Amino acid sequence: MAGPGKINGLGLIKGLGAVATLIVAMLGVPAFLVIFVGNPLPASFQWSLIVSALTRPDDGTILVSLIAILAWLAWAVFTASVVVELLALLSRQRLRIRMPGLGGPQRLASALVLTIASLAAAAPQASHAAPGHSAPAHAAPEIVRPQIDPTQLETVAEVTQTIREEGHREVALPSGTTEATSGRSYVVQRGDDLWTLAERFYGEGREWRRIAAANPNLLTGGPDHLEAGWRLQIPDGSPGHGQTHEVERGESLSSIANLAYGDPEQWPRIFEANRFQLDDPDELPVGLRLVLPGKPSASDRGAVKAAADEGAAANSHGPTGTGKQSVERPAKDADPTPLPTPVPPAPPQSSEQASPVEAPSEQAVEESVADPLLAGLAGVGGLLAAAVVSGTAVRRRRQLQLRPLGRRISQPTQAAWLVESQLGSRQQPMGLRTLDLATRAISAYCHHAGHPLPMLEVATVTDDVLLLQMSDPGLLGPDGFQIDGTTWRLAGADVDRLRSTPGLSDAVRPYPALITAGATADGGQVVLDIEAVQLTSIESADRASAAASLAAIAVELSCSPWAEELELILIGTCAALPAALGQHNVTYAEDLDSVLDRLERRASAQRNQSSAHSVAAHRIDPDLADPWVPTILLVNTPLSAVEQRRLRQLVLSEPPASIAAVAVGLDTAPCRLVLSEADGGSAGDGPVARIEPYGLAVRPQLLAERAADAVIELVETTGRTDTTPAPWWFDEETAAEPDPPDNVTYLGRRSGGWRARDNQGDEGKGAAMERQDHTRGMSSSHPVLRLLGPIELHGAAGVAPARAARQCLEYCGWLLEHPGTTAAEMGTVMGVAEGTRRSNVSRLRSWLGSDELDQPYLPDAYSGRIFLHPAVSSDWQRLQILTSRGINRASTSGLEAALQLVRGAPMADAAPGQWHWAEGLRTDMLSAIRDIGVELTGRALAESNLDLARWAASRALLVAPGDELLLVARIKTEHRAGNHSEVERLTLQLAAHARLLEVDLLPETVDVLQEMMEGQVRARLA
């Protein structure tokens, strides 16, 4: 192999051949055409001449001219490709232009240009050595090839940058490093290219992609230009080296990492090893064959976990999409006698890697808050997350229904908001709904057909299959289930068949004590019926893990769809949960003995009446359900031998009673959830669990104490009835306040909307004024994100991306509502991997494009803070500007214009798991639009403009269906118009909606309804 600075014979022949080819193609071809063919086009384009040429006898002239025209076109395409590749080479691949449909010519031009560049780069090096003599030893010292430890990737990356800048100088790497990948390492010499290296190491140039894929931190996976000094990892030459895995439906990188390494947190290793075929870790095509790196060492696990936790934040050394790293020089070389090297100016930071230098914004997520919460939520499964999210949504609907005009419902704290965002991204709502529908269908079928109710032991819920393990074989079930012995299988395609089960709408839930015990290796949620097993013991050497498991059970039972159909008693766990819920059936007790006394009396009464082998068999009859509502006791206090004996007698005696218990550290129990650390893993790998007597191994569901407190705080916030003055309503009592209420969506901090304040600093004030100037015009020539209905982006200068377009819309919404955010904050709150976030931001930047002055709508964030161009706006901001003086002080025409912006419910087509961070924003939109509808309808009725009143109330009801004040406004309108049938229909709709939400109608509403329906208000004593 030629040494550094020498030109081998093959390389010289290739280089000279490329030069000759380029000269002939770019100069020889046009010279030949000019000399021998001339101008193939006619002197003038006259119709008569064209007809004459086509109708006279063929002498070959036309064919020669067509060939010449095609030759000129081919020459122009090739020349343009060469120019494009020269620009890419001179800009060091920073300027890459892809010409649509011309990939072949561009690849040929790239190969020629790179070959010539390699020859030109190597020639000066070769001239330094005297002819006929070998170069002195110090002229080209052999570079040390240390091995690299993944835990020191940052240090190695910095030294790699030094190697690039110093060429072949010897640079000492930090001690203690080990090799990161299998195979060998190679330091790039001047004149090297990937094709030549593949020929050298594999004997086949077409294998260059293997080298590109093995070096994702340096290369993009494409035919990159190599720089001298780069240290490349060369994979082993045997084609069968390493393992692969073919992606199956429902798999993710986390589940594959769990299968391959026993740790889902190792997914970044798989992603980095497959960067040549993966752009987004969240988009995994079925059938794709992934390369699996070797099993990680303990230090590898620590490094990958640290990288995953940090999310490859702003100053990450990962690839930037240009094939180069953005790194800083080490402060001092590790070599005790370093050679002096001039320090070049620091390269400009990209928008994805800039370090934040400004103070965080008001909405910034503090690391001291985020890190413990995210760690505490790591063990939460999709069913628990869906239960909390859906439960809080119902509670929030009640808040909105009871909210007075011009008031704002209570807003969550930062910790509660972050927990809601994270749970929103983790939830598995379809799995929760499918499980609920399936159990109700079983109840309805058995009651209607007179069949015995099967006893459920264990269920497994995945994205597309529900498996129920029953205790008895040979039983029948509703249409849709495939029954094989004791296993009942429900495929996702058959779920809708359950809806035709007779009596489904009135069915009582037969298994209301279902809880998630943990997750299988492939991500399936394992569900236990703790009422059926009667007594469960949680066992762990780590008391905190046992407490976290019990807290998860408490929260899931409290928030699940079947929570109303059981009684839950907590002792020693989640003491604040009952008060936060405000429900009669969830209580906390200090004394176990008094609870046992009461439950023993109830159990005795039930056993005197029971004749069935299962209490659930009584429950499927709606007329008998109430006396058999299960009582679940959760205990996290040390129990004496006497208390344990009383507890066992209470729940295990025959015949069974509708009482079950889960306690920590029981001596004996028929069901045991045994927690332990993963075999051979570190503490950071998290616990595993074994469910006995079923022999199931799962990763247990855990809700750590701080995360549980934040969940309880969220539940408490969504149940409060107190309100605060709304920023969209002018209130003379609060108008003079120096500071507005804390409001995540407070427009005054961004675009001069509702009572804007000048307390945001000079830069913030300038940005707000500039955005206001732009959004007042709302020109269609600038991007407008439409949120008040289906989510759309209008006026973008670029083309919508072929994939992840809806994710890009969500990113645009985040940046509009959180100007000045950082990459780390964005990834944390939105719950996405850093690679996904970076890819989608890049797609959004291309989609938005630039304005007429060529200013990008999503500029690079050199300060570390990401801002959109001031001209980018939304219909939500437009609504706020139209009502900036307060809804009750805005003009009638302004209110009409604001309602005309409404096309449906806010973010109407957002899928579950998307826009989960925007729940507070959504409720503000709902509240403001409802208040606009009520105010405008009242004005229209005062002016006897029934058409406007009807339109205003109807448009606002699109956003807030069933709202009491809007329906009353509609009832008044139809009563004034003489539409008595419509008045009756709306009245019944209002009453039904109130019953559904379990709220009482306002006294004023009752008076209006009595007057409209009965002609007068009923008489009452004072």
pLDDT score for 64: 76
Query: Which tens digit of pLDDT belongs to each residue from 440-477?
Result: 999 999 988 888 889 898 999 998 899 999 988 878 89
pLDDT score for 205: 66
pLDDT score for 437: 93
Model confidence at 351: pLDDT above 70: no
634-638, 733-737, 857-861 — which one is most confidently predicted on average?
634-638
Q: Which residue has the higher pLDDT, 637 or 263?
A: 637
Over residues 321-325, the mean pLDDT reads: 34
The model's confidence at residue 684, banded by pLDDT at 50, 70 and 90, is: very low
pLDDT score for 187: 85
Average of per-residue pLDDT values in the chain: 77
Residue indicated by tokens 């405008």: 936
Is residue 1017 within 8 Å of 1011, Cβ to Cβ? yes
The proportion of the chain whose per-residue pLDDT surpasses 90, expressed as a percent, equals 36
Distances (CA, A) of 227 to 92, 162, 224, 454, 913: 9, 12, 9, 69, 43
Question: Residues 6 or more apart from 1004 whose CB is under 8 A from it?
Answer: none
pLDDT score for 375: 81
Model confidence at 367: pLDDT above 60: no
Q: Which residue has the higher pLDDT, 319 or 384?
A: 384
Model confidence at 786: pLDDT above 80: yes
Query: Which tens digit of pLDDT belongs to each residue from 44-68?
Result: 666 666 666 666 676 667 777 778 8
pLDDT score for 255: 83
Strands 567-571 and 456-461: unpaired
pLDDT score for 850: 92
Q: Which residue has the higher pLDDT, 177 or 704?
A: 704
Classify residue 694 by its DSSP letter.
Answer: T
Distance of alpha carbon 813 from alpha carbon 823, whole angstroms: 15
Q: Where are the domains of the chain?
A: 69-95+102-117, 185-235, 250-290, 784-961
Window from 24-28, 106-110, 573-577, 750-754 with minimum mean pLDDT: 750-754
Window from 268-282, 495-509, 851-865, 877-891 with minimum mean pLDDT: 268-282
Over residues 767-774, the mean pLDDT reads: 42
The pTM (predicted TM-score) of the whole model is 0.60
Model confidence at 295: pLDDT above 70: no
Distance of alpha carbon 431 from alpha carbon 170, whole angstroms: 59
Residue indicated by tokens 């509702």: 754
Distance of alpha carbon 49 from alpha carbon 52, whole angstroms: 5
Tell me the two tokens of residue 631. 């009582």
Query: Which tens digit of pLDDT belongs to each residue from 851-871?
Result: 888 899 999 888 888 999 999
Handedness of CA 888, 894, 896, 900 (dihedral sign): negative
Distance of alpha carbon 281 from alpha carbon 252, whole angstroms: 8
Q: Which residue has the higher pLDDT, 362 or 643?
A: 643
Over residues 545-566, the mean pLDDT reads: 91
Report the phi/psi class of residue 579: left, alpha or beta, with left for phi > 0 and alpha for psi in -120 to 50.
alpha
pLDDT score for 49: 64
Q: Which residue has the higher pLDDT, 1021 or 653?
A: 653
Over residues 834-852, the mean pLDDT reads: 90
pLDDT score for 93: 52
Burial 151-174 (b: 16+ CB within 10 A, else e): bbbebbbbbbbbbbbbbbbebebe
The model's confidence at residue 26, banded by pLDDT at 50, 70 and 90, is: confident
Query: Which tens digit of pLDDT belongs to each residue from 471-512?
Result: 888 788 999 999 999 999 999 899 999 999 999 988 888 899
The model's confidence at residue 376, banded by pLDDT at 50, 70 and 90, is: confident
Over residues 137-147, the mean pLDDT reads: 34
Helix (H) or strand (E) holding 724: strand 723-725
The model's confidence at residue 738, banded by pLDDT at 50, 70 and 90, is: very low
191-205, 210-224, 520-534 — which one is most confidently predicted on average?
520-534
pLDDT score for 229: 81
Over residues 351-365, the mean pLDDT reads: 37
Distance of alpha carbon 287 from alpha carbon 293, whole angstroms: 19
Q: Which CATH architecture has domain 185-235?
A: Roll (3.10)
Model confidence at 171: pLDDT above 50: no
Over residues 100-116, the mean pLDDT reads: 74
Model confidence at 757: pLDDT above 50: no
pLDDT score for 177: 32
